[in-house]
Every structure is written in structure tokens, then in C-alpha cells.
Amino acid sequence: MTTVGTLEDAVAIYYQHADGIADDRLGWVESCNAGEDRTVYRVGDVVYKIPSRPTANPYDHRAQEEARRRGYRWAPAASTLWPVRDYLGDEDVAVLAMPYLEDDGTSPDPDSMAEMKAQSGGGVDGTNYVVISGQPIVIDFCTVRLRPE
Ligand SMILES: Nc1ncnc2c1ncn2[C@@H]1O[C@H](COP(=O)(O)OP(=O)(O)OP(=O)(O)O)[C@@H](O)[C@H]1O
Ligand SMILES: [Mg+2]
């Protein structure tokens, strides 16, 4: 299984987010977009998602893993949940790492789009996928609803 990012970077981003203080090694990392639920930071070719509620990242990750297992073409190649120890030391926060995926401006292939909509349960809106060479790739699995096979 491919690992995305590192625990060291996940910890650095988590503490920058929590404290507003730049990490010595990474420097200040601008969020590449604040979603409703999560704040997303890009480090090289990886994004780290810092949750505001505990269930979002584990759900996203599990749904991604299952979509990959099924061979769905709209699933990103890999993702990793990094357990980051919170301040009080009695709880891990699940920070989600996945590849940074940039929309390349191509228009989505209608068949690929219809396939993604059908396989993902129809709830994925335009802010939660990118299009690369005509293929939609879902970047936020919180609204994905996989049906039993
Ligand atoms: N893998 C990625 N590559 C590039 N940009 C990303 C990636 N994941 C997220 N983003 C950017 O960050 C934004 C927020 O991410 P995401 O949708 O995962 O968070 P969220 O809080 O669950 O969002 P929502 O607003 O849908 O609840 C995305 O709309 C997108 O602009
Ligand atoms: Mg989203």
C-alpha cells in the first residue's frame, strides 16, 4: 500500500494550524483552501486535511480505500490517515493526506462523469472533484455513498 506524505509533516501542519506558528522546517504554509469542514494545506505534491469534526477524515479515507479496491477510475491513487497526538496527549487527531490534484481545465468526458456520478451515489458536487485529461477525480469523499456490491 502506498503511503502519502509523512507523520512529521502532518504533525507540523497540525500544530501550525492549531497555534498559528510556522514550523521551523516547513516554514509558513498557506492553506490551499478552507472547506466547510476541513482546512487543507499543500506541502509539495501532498495535501493535508485538518478536520474540525472527528468523523470526516476517517470516513473520507475509508470511502477512498473502498473505491480504489473496486477499481473506480475517479478515485485518487492513494491516501493515508496520520494519527497526530493532540496537546493533552490523550487523543489522536486523524489528519488525512492525499495527492495534490489540480484541475487541468479540460472538460469532463460525459461517460466518465456519468460513471462517477452513478458509482459515487450522485451527491458529489463541483467543488469536490477535479478534472484531469477529461477524467473526474474526486478529492472529497464525504458525500460519496458507495452501494453494496
Ligand atoms: N487533493 C486535493 N488537491 C488539490 N486541492 C484540494 C485537494 N483536496 C482539497 N482541495 C481543496 O481544498 C478544498 C476543501 O477541501 P475538501 O473539499 O476536502 O474539504 P471539506 O471541508 O470537506 O469541504 P466542504 O466545503 O465540501 O465541506 C477543495 O474544495 C479544494 O479546493
Ligand atoms: Mg469539500
60 close to ligand 1 (CB < 6 Angstrom) = no
Could you read off the pLDDT of 38-80 as tens digits, one per residue? 999 999 999 999 999 889 999 999 999 999 999 999 999 999 9
Percent of the chain with pLDDT over 90: 89
Give the integer Cα–Cα distance in Å for 90 and 30.
28
Q: Where are the domains of the chain?
A: 7-138
Q: Which pLDDT score is estimated for 147?
A: 92
What is the pLDDT averaged over residues 4-30? 96
Which residue from 140, 141, 142 has its CB within 8 A of the most atoms of ligand 1, so it is best to mutate? 140
> Quick one: pLDDT band at residue 149, thresholds 50, 70, 90?
confident
Give the integer Cα–Cα distance in Å for 47 and 33.
10
Q: Which ligand is nearest to the CA of 41?
A: 1
Q: Which pLDDT score is estimated for 35?
A: 74
The residue type found at 58 is P
Give the integer Cα–Cα distance in Å for 55 and 149.
24
Contact 143, 125 (CB under 8 A): yes
Q: What are phi and psi of 120, to 5 degrees?
A: -95, 0
CA dist list (Å): 62 to 25, 42, 58, 121, 135: 30, 21, 6, 15, 22
Mean pLDDT of the chain: 95
Could you read off the pLDDT of 107-131 as tens digits, one per residue? 999 999 999 999 999 999 999 999 9
C-alpha cell belonging to residue 149: 456490491
Which residue from 40, 57, 81, 128 has its CB within 8 A of the most atoms of ligand 1, so it is best to mutate? 40
